[in-house]
Structure 1
Amino acid sequence: MTADVVPLPRRRPTLDPMLALTAHGMNAVNAVILERMQSDIPLIPRLAGHLISGGGKRLRPMLTLAGAELVGYQGARHHKLAAAVEFIHTATLLHDDVVDGSELRRGKAAANIIFGNPATVLVGDFLFSRAFELMTEDGSLKVLKILSGASAIIAEGEVSQLTAQRQIETSEERYLQIIGAKTAALFAAASRIGAVVAECGEREEQALDDYGRNLGVAFQLVDDAIDYDSDAAEMGKDRGDDFREGKMTLPVIFAYSRGTPEERKFWQAAIAGHRTSDDDLAEAIALIGKYDAVEATRDRARHFAARAVDAISIFPDGKARAAMAEAAHFAVARGY
Structure 2
Amino acid sequence: MSVWTERVAGRGEDAEPFVCHHWDTTQGLLAVFDGSGGAGASPAWQAPDGTARTGAWVGARAARLATDCWFHDVVREGQEPDGHTLHTYVKYFLEQAPKRQSKISGTMRRQLPTTLAGLHYQVDGDETEVEVRPLWTGDSRAYVLLPDSGLHVLTRDHTRESDALELLRSDPPMTNLVCADREFEIATRRLTLPLPCVLVVATDGFFGYVHTPGEFERLLLRTLEQAHHALDWSDLLRREVQAYTADDASLALLALGHRDFADLRAGFAPRLRQLTDRLTRDRPDALTGPPGDGADPREAAAAVKAWQERTWQEYRPAYERYLPPASEESA
Specify which structure has the bigger relative contact order, considering alpha-carbon pairs within 8 angstroms and separated by 6 or more residues.
1
Q: TM-score, normalised by structure 1?
A: 0.30
**Bigger proportion of residues as strand:** 2
Q: TM-score, normalised by structure 2?
A: 0.30
**Bigger proportion of residues as helix:** 1
